Amino acid sequence: MLSSKLGWGIIMAVLCLIFGPDPLRAAEKSAEKEEVFLKVLDAAYQVSCNDADRLRDYYLANAEIISDGLQSTLDETIKELKQSMNPLPGLTCSYQPKVRASRIGPEMAYLVVRESIRLSVHEKGEQRIEQLCTYVFLKDGSRWKIAHDHCSMVQGETV
């Protein structure tokens, strides 16, 4: 009787391993979901370099933006970007995000992202920025938009 129960237990364990949830597949699905938000972030970074007004396509109008402890509105952020970035001819931006954590629901998503940003100006050289950011995305109609953007520079690291 004991060996019969043990045999069935082994069979059930093997079946659970074969047909149960696959942690690798779950990670792949999570990465696929995160990709939607990484595309929004990448597009927002690209327009911030050359057409800051288009940030409105990626942020909610009342988005809260915090950078190194300083809070600003979307309009203030756009104005600051125009003043600092637009006069730089030949500016190129490179954005490399790595998602550290995420929670994605049907109407809201939260991501923690480690970002490596490289800003290059042909004659002036290159600036590299490492930062850790938290983003909250909300569904706006059929599109995801950034509702909260909180980034802090990571100090003292080799980039």
User: CA 15, 21, 24 angle in degrees (round to 5)?
Assistant: 120
The answer to which of 18-27, 48-57, 101-110, 119-128 has the lowest mean pLDDT is 18-27
What does pTM read for this prediction?
0.77
Dump pLDDT digits (tens) for 29-60: 556 789 999 999 999 999 988 889 999 999 99
pLDDT at 21: 59
* Structure token pair of residue 89: 């001819």
Dump pLDDT digits (tens) for 91-117: 788 899 999 999 999 999 999 999 998
Domain map of the chain by residue range?
Answer: 22-153
What integer is the mean pLDDT of 56-72?
A: 94
Top CATH class of 22-153 equals alpha beta
Residue 152 has pLDDT above 90, yes or no: yes
What integer is the mean pLDDT of 125-145?
A: 92
* Structure token pair of residue 37: 């938000």
pLDDT at 24: 43
Note the Cα 132 to chain centre separation in Å: 10
Residue 68 φ/ψ, nearest 5 degrees = 50, 45
